[in-house]
Amino acid sequence: MAGKYQRQRERPAWLGKALLAAAVIAAFVLGIAVTKIGSSGTDGAAGDSSGKSGCTERPLVIVRAAEEIAPVVRAAGDRVAKRGICGEISVQGGSSSDAAREIAQGFLPDVWIPDSSTWTDRANAGTSKEKWGDGPSLATTPVMVAASPGVVAKNAQRPSWPALLGGSQSIRMADPERDAASRLALFAATSARGQSTVDQLKAGAGAIFLSRSEAHGQLALLTNYAADPAKSPPFPASEQAIAAYNKAHSDKSLGGFVPMGGTTALDYPWIAASHLSPEASAVARAVQAELASDATATELKAAGFRREPTDPGPTFAGSSGGPFTALTELKPSARTAAITQWQSVKKDMRMLAVIDVSGSMKQPVNATTTRMQVAQGAASTALKILPAGSQIGGWAFSTDKAGPGKDWREMVPVRQLDAPVAGGTQRDALLKAVGSMPGLIGGDTGLYDTTLAAWRYMHSSYDPNYINSVVILTDGKNDDPRGGVSLAKLLETIRKEGDAERPVKVITIGIGENTDPAAAAAVAKATGGSSFVAKNAADIQKVFVEALLLR
């Protein structure tokens, strides 16, 4: 067994006193509670479950538990100790996200009680051979929208999680890679939202906006509220956390409500590692059984937890502690995708948008709209939702667009969106350029020359403080009467001139049936980018914004 928290499972009785002393010293230094399970004699040897002294094997079982439930687990260990069993238990309370990260690195406890089962996604993403699966839930508490009683009263029509995270309501999130409540709120919004283009746009815009003001964790959100409730926007918090806060802050009480449509819940699973010896497993099972007792149920309720989702919960402004509707849980792959997108949009982009103005862009996609008009709509929508800190520039391209042999024309150089430009801002200049593109339509599709020029431009001006990318929107295959660079040469040049320390992703968006998806995918793959195909007007806007969100 490898890992920071391994302990020798078999040892002679004479080692008991020395090892227990070391454990107590560690507990004092690290703030860890160590419960000695079993009766002991003067030599420190623990008794077995039948009351006999002189156990030859006294395993130390280490439990990593979410901070808020750790006292209940310790109390269960104390009761087991009084009944007498050979062994000791160390209950280490702390952050579930930190535990997940350490487990992924190979620092393995014997039992893990995170606040949410979803942390196993991170724990299992590491190099450790130990994989953590599902476990029985010890307690549950729904994720709510925490707010001042006055704000709760004003929200009589409870907004849904998609509405809250889509920007239609004021809310602040904690980092979903550190805080389970915000993590589950993000998953709830993903699970409950529709799949239309409008839904996707709102979700993307909301993620970009909320990620810019995320707090380090829930403690930061609660501390901010306690400092000035009137200025604190609503935020995700568990029912238990709200109740615990109110016990400590009767003068600045916190309210909360379950959003329309339902919510998700923290579930505190008991997950035992596969590496436990039979003796250690016996100790762990004894504590787990005690956690299912009536005494534990009373302690959980006093701490603000529910044993089952249907049990009554604590009451406060906005909540009577009644039952709640549980949303469908996301699959691990969907959870990972939601977290990946959130982490991606946290960092501002530095992007060159390159839009096809070849003659075929005049062709209609339906009875009233041309390909160019749809492209304009998608670009304009994206420009309106991107944060001011993003750096964006725009090119138009078709054959010889800026003179013989030069297929691209710079419309607006790359600048920050809030930079002053000609009496307005960079955002205004880009929107104006997009509006003028129909007047540039004509010529063939000088795609590869343009792609290489755009990639080289962004590579040479790379800024490590941003995500650097080129987004190319085209409705055709490479078609250059002058010849120009070939696909093979383009890929070879990118591989030769590329630098892993200065990554510039190329994201391609093909419109209609006349593109070359295989070639586009090859270019995207060579740069670590992505390739999309939009077959109709609705798809164009959706994939364009998706490309921006995924960078």
pLDDT class for 550, splitting at 50, 70, 90? low
Q: Report the pLDDT value the prediction gives residue 455, as an integer from 0 to 100.
A: 97
- What is the CATH superfamily name and number for domain 141-265? Periplasmic binding protein-like II (3.40.190.10)
DSSP string, 500-522: TTS--EEEEEEESSSS-HHHHHH
Sheet strands (E) in 316-371: 349-356
Give the strands of the sheet with 505-511, arranged side by side: 408-416, 391-397, 349-356, 467-474, 505-511, 531-534
pLDDT class for 338, splitting at 50, 70, 90? confident
Q: Report the pLDDT value the prediction gives residue 7, as an integer from 0 to 100.
A: 36
Per-residue pLDDT at 194 exceeds 80: no
Mean pLDDT of 121-136: 87
Mean pLDDT of 506-512: 89
pLDDT class for 205, splitting at 50, 70, 90? low
Q: Report the pLDDT value the prediction gives residue 48, as an integer from 0 to 100.
A: 37
Domains 13-136+269-302 and 141-265 share a fold: yes
Q: Report the pLDDT value the prediction gives residue 169, as an integer from 0 to 100.
A: 67
Per-residue pLDDT at 21 exceeds 50: no
Q: Report the pLDDT value the prediction gives residue 212, as an integer from 0 to 100.
A: 67
Per-residue pLDDT at 14 exceeds 70: no
Least confident range from 164-178, 297-311, 438-452, 480-494: namely 164-178
pTM: 0.73
Which tops the pLDDT comparison, 20 or 90? 90
**CA atoms of 122 and 101, how far apart (whole Å):** 7
Render pLDDT for 523-541 as a digit per residue (tens, 0 to 9): 999 999 989 888 766 677 7
Per-residue pLDDT at 4 exceeds 60: no
Render pLDDT for 432-484 as a digit per residue (tens, 0 to 9): 999 999 999 999 999 999 999 999 999 999 999 888 999 999 998 998 888 88
Q: Report the pLDDT value the prediction gives residue 442, as an integer from 0 to 100.
A: 94
- The matching CATH number, chosen from 3.40.190.10, 3.50.50.60, 3.30.70.141, 3.60.21.10, for 13-136+269-302 is 3.40.190.10
Render pLDDT for 310-335 as a digit per residue (tens, 0 to 9): 999 999 999 999 999 999 999 999 99
Mean pLDDT of 84-92: 89
The encoded tokens of residue 375 equal 């492209």
Q: Report the pLDDT value the prediction gives residue 460, as an integer from 0 to 100.
A: 95
CATH architecture assigned to 347-550: 3-Layer(aba) Sandwich (3.40)
Q: Report the pLDDT value the prediction gives residue 282, as an integer from 0 to 100.
A: 93
Whether 245 contacts 124, CB under 8 Å: no
Mean pLDDT of 10-37: 37
Q: Report the pLDDT value the prediction gives residue 521, as an integer from 0 to 100.
A: 94
pLDDT class for 346, splitting at 50, 70, 90? confident
CB within 8 A of 386, min separation 6: which ones? Answer: 208, 349, 392, 417, 548
Q: Report the pLDDT value the prediction gives residue 196, as an integer from 0 to 100.
A: 55
Strand pairing report for 408-416 and 420-421: unpaired
Distances (CA, A) of 202 to 121, 185, 188, 547: 26, 16, 15, 15
Q: Report the pLDDT value the prediction gives residue 548, as an integer from 0 to 100.
A: 64
**CA atoms of 478 and 358, how far apart (whole Å):** 11
Which tops the pLDDT comparison, 186 or 341? 186
Least confident range from 237-251, 359-373, 411-425, 428-442: namely 359-373
Alpha helix positions (H), 212-317: 218-227, 239-248, 278-291, 294-302
Instruction: Looking at mean pLDDT, say which of 86-90, 124-128, 142-146 comes out highest.
Output: 142-146
Least confident range from 8-12, 232-236, 276-280: namely 8-12
- Residue that is written with structure tokens 């070359």 in the block: 516
Per-residue pLDDT at 39 exceeds 50: no
pLDDT class for 200, splitting at 50, 70, 90? low
Q: Report the pLDDT value the prediction gives residue 190, as an integer from 0 to 100.
A: 86
Angle, to 10 degrees, between the axis of helix 517-527 and the axis of helix 487-497?
A: 10
Mean pLDDT of 242-259: 95
Q: Report the pLDDT value the prediction gives residue 494, as an integer from 0 to 100.
A: 96
**CA atoms of 508 and 473, how far apart (whole Å):** 6
Per-residue pLDDT at 362 exceeds 80: yes
How many of the other CB atoms lie within 10 Å of CB of 227?
10
- Return mean pLDDT, the chain: 84
- Render the burial of 96-123: b for 16+ CB within 10 Å, e for the rest: bbebbbbbbebbbbbbbbbbbbbbbbbb
Least confident range from 7-11, 230-234, 242-246, 385-389: namely 7-11
Q: Report the pLDDT value the prediction gives residue 162, as an integer from 0 to 100.
A: 87
pLDDT class for 365, splitting at 50, 70, 90? confident
**CA atoms of 97 and 375, how far apart (whole Å):** 41
Phi, psi for residue 141 in degrees, rounded to 5: -155, 125
pLDDT class for 17, splitting at 50, 70, 90? very low
Sheet strands (E) in 262-407: 265-266, 271-272, 349-356, 391-397
How many of the other CB atoms lie within 10 Å of CB of 320?
10
Boundaries of every domain in the chain: 13-136+269-302, 141-265, 347-550
Whether 318 contacts 257, CB under 8 Å: yes
Q: Report the pLDDT value the prediction gives residue 389, as an integer from 0 to 100.
A: 82
